[in-house]
Amino acid sequence: MGAANHVPEEAIRRQYEYIDLIAARNAEKAQFLGQKPRAVAHTFGCQQNFADTERLAGMLSEMGYELTEDVNDAALILYNTCAVREHAESRALGNVGALTHVKKARPETVIALCGCMVQQEQVAEKVKKSYPHVDLVFGTHALWRFPELLFRTLTGKKRVFDISGDERGEIAEGLPVLRGEGARAWLSIMYGCNNFCTYCIVPYVRGRERSRDPEAIENELRELVAAGYKDITLLGQNVNSYGKDLGLGLDFSGLLRRLDKVPGDYLLRFMTSHPKDASERLFDTMAECRHVAKQLHLPFQSGSDEILRRMNRGYTSAHYRELIVYARGKMPEITLSSDIIVGFPGETEADFVQTLSLVREVGFDMLYTFLYSRRSGTPAAEYPDSASKEEKQDRFERLLKAQDETVEGRQAAYLGKRLRVLVDSTGKSPEYPFAARTEGGLLVCCVGEGLRIGEFAEVEIDRTTLRCLFAHTVSQHIIYKG
């Protein structure tokens, strides 16, 4: 131990050779057609999946493809899939199903599926049998071999499937990346999950926890800052266990302190934190690091200790409350968000009421609420269920209502306040031509002279609704965290 277990450099170099081989074929095509062949790379999953897609898009771009969003115009269509809930799977499969007409019209189009959903053997099997127009399927652990797999697909006669596991627990460094425009960027600091919450498929499809070397992370952060990104989110399924596998004596707080020293005018966010490993040390670090945004996404899933125990979450609701009190004590301005599962097998009305009370008591700025979705292969899939579909739906709606009541008050409290925001995109209405985020991640629709995407500004809040703060600028182009 002492460093991450890397895919050997030699193996990465080989991928670059495949990139070159495909690029040569594409250059010929481009000459013939008068334009580069186009490729779609679309994500159906979480931010980690999105960050993976940025790598895949980077490889595609170096292979000479031009990225597009239009499947009707593409020589290659790659969908990066998610398995976390049934809805995510059916959405991906529905979209893949809809590609039969593309394949019919243009049989030479390559259709590829990758990521968490197809890492599951039974799903890969289903694709093999029922989706014959899919040419290439590869799981999360084969992502770095995409150039080689694509080359085999393009040159061979057979469909290519690679859903091998992660026995070696390797990390691939040095792959190309094509990032989105705007001020936001994603930076993976670790992969996989060891927690095995009983409802969750992620540990099965993403493998064991692996942390990237701190040098690699710091270098990437420096590149991002130099490229002008100002809102950078560190990603991991449970960032609080960063470094445990490295044996360097560096934990997540240590990593944050190290990254915070990278000079520049930018905000650092991170997700996701697990309450069982979130510590006072982490909150002290957040409070003391100038670049670290005072924003915390801390999913509690359920307010009932019995349900938490059956979910294998490893904390109680009392512990969760203590964490929030400590974090708010250190950072009174902090914004808080959480994930909640409604209708976990065996959840009673009394259990649910405890979730509701926790939501009311804490007062979250944002909630991501999910109806429990049975994932085959997870322990909870075998747990007996009691509540009916209607009861679960009713609980879900009561939860949303309670949250809306909280948010209304929290948003209204910003009226007349001056805040620093980062302008990150154009707005949806001409009245407010720009959309920005506060340090806490709240959406602000802005108007004013001289606003520019990717720059910080100071605004005053004129009006608030449930979803948005509306503001005019007080000063532009400010240096915020530099």
Per the omega criterion (within 30 degrees of 0), is the bond before 272 cis? yes
48 in contact with ligand SF4 (CB under 6 A): no
Among 199-207, 213-221, 264-272, 414-422, the segment contacting ligand F3S (CB under 6 A): 199-207
Tokens of 54: 């940025």
The reply on whether position 237 binds ligand SF4 by CB under 6 A is: yes
Q: How far is the CB of 196 from ligand SF4 (least distance, A)?
A: 6
CB closer to ligand SAH out of 199 and 266: 199
**One of 116, 142, 259, 278 touching ligand F3S (CB under 6 A):** 116
Interior angle at CA 457, CA 453 and CA 461, nearest 5:
110
Q: Could you give the C-alpha distances from 225 to 215, 229, 262, 288, 482, in angstroms and in order?
A: 15, 5, 9, 20, 11
Cβ atoms of residues 143 and 18 within 8 Å: no
Residue 37, both tokens: 């062949």
Listed residue (294, 243, 296) closest to 271, CA to CA: 296
- Which one of residues 200, 255, 387, 461 is an interface residue with ligand SF4 (CB under 6 A)? 200
Other CB atoms within 10 A of residue 133 CB: 16
Using CA atoms, how far apart are residues 96 and 104, in angstroms rounded to an integer? 13
* Of the residues 206, 212, 291, 392, which one makes contact with ligand F3S according to CB under 6 A: 206
Check: CB of residue 330 under 8 Å from CB of residue 287.
yes
- Quick note: the x/- pattern for ligand SAH over 246-285, rule CB under 6 A, is --------------------------x-x-----------
Determine the Cα–Cα distance for residues 403 and 360; give it in Å rounded to an integer: 7
Tell me which stretch binds ligand SAH (CB under 6 A): 49-57, 95-103, 178-186, 370-378.
370-378
Taking the complex as a whole, how short is the minimal distance between the CB of residue 392 and ligand SAH, in angstroms?
11
Interaction between residue 461 and ligand SF4 (CB under 6 A): no
Phi then psi dihedrals of residue 467, to 5 deg = -100, -15
Contact 242, 194 (CB under 8 A): no
Backbone phi and psi for residue 242, each to the nearest 5 degrees, phi listed first:
-55, 135
Count other C-beta atoms under 10 Å from residue 236's C-beta: 26
Which of 375, 392, 395, 481 is the binder for ligand SAH (CB under 6 A)? 375
Q: Of the candidates 4, 39, 41, 48, which one interacts with ligand F3S according to CB under 6 A? A: 48
Give yes or no for residue 81 binding ligand SAH (CB under 6 A).
Answer: no
Query: 205 vs 435, which CB is nearer to ligand F3S?
Result: 205
Q: Which of 280, 274, 282, 354 is nearest to 314 (CA)?
A: 274
- Phi, psi (5° rounding) for residue 408? -55, -50
- Told to check if 278 binds ligand SF4 by CB under 6 A, we report no
> Mask 137-176, x = binds ligand SF4 (CB under 6 A)?
----------------------------------------
372 counts as binding ligand SAH under rule CB under 6 A: yes
Chosen residue from 199, 266, 283, 480 binding ligand SAH by CB under 6 A: 199
For tokens 């991928």, name the residue: 15
DSSP class of 6 = B
354 binds, among ligand F3S, ligand SF4, ligand SAH, none (CB under 5 to 8 A by kind): none
Q: Which amino acid is at 89?
A: E
Say how many residues touch ligand F3S, by CB under 6 A. 12
In whole angstroms, the minimum distance from the beta carbon of 235 to ligand SAH comes to 10
Look up residue 118 and give its DSSP letter: H
301 binds ligand F3S per the rule CB under 6 A: no
Residue 464 site contact among ligand SF4, ligand F3S, ligand SAH, none (CB < 5 to 8 Å, cut-off depends on kind): none
Q: Which does 196 bind (CB under 5 to 8 A by kind): ligand SF4, ligand SAH, ligand F3S, none?
A: ligand SF4
- CB distance 469 to 478 below 8 Å: no
Q: Binders of ligand F3S among 59-98, rule CB under 6 A?
A: 82-84
**Tokens 């004596």 belong to residue:** 249
Residue 367 interacts with ligand SAH (CB under 6 A)?
Answer: no
Residues 399-428 that bind ligand SF4 (CB under 6 A): none
In the complex, least distance from residue 366 CB atom to ligand SF4, rounded to whole angstroms: 18
Residues that bind ligand SF4 (CB under 6 A): 193, 195-197, 200, 202-203, 237-238, 274
Residues that bind ligand SAH (CB under 6 A): 84-85, 199-200, 202, 237-238, 272, 274, 299, 301, 339, 341, 370, 372-373, 375
